[in-house]
Structure 1
Amino acid sequence: MPKPYPEEFRQDVVRVARNRGPGVTVEQVAADFGVHAMTL
């Protein structure tokens, strides 16, 4: 089983995903952070 992501990392990813600009997809944010889009 993979290790859980650190809390600070998770908060950063969620913040960026919620505040993404127009035309930026969740998939793009996930790829930038190296996680699967379904994780978000």
Structure 2
Amino acid sequence: MAGPECALWRRDAMYSKALAFAGFIARKGPAGVGLKAPSTAT
């Protein structure tokens, strides 16, 4: 039985994942779009 806390945990996990991704993009700066071209990422 998936309780409300289960859904909350899943939403929290997605939120933290999105936060980490945003931080990753912010660290890379405008070149963060280099995700499409990883060769230019480094």
Q: Give me the TM-score of the superposition, normalised by structure 2.
A: 0.38
Quick check: which one's helix share is greater? 2
Considering Cα pairs closer than 8 Å and 6+ residues apart, tell me whether 1 or 2 has the greater RCO: 1
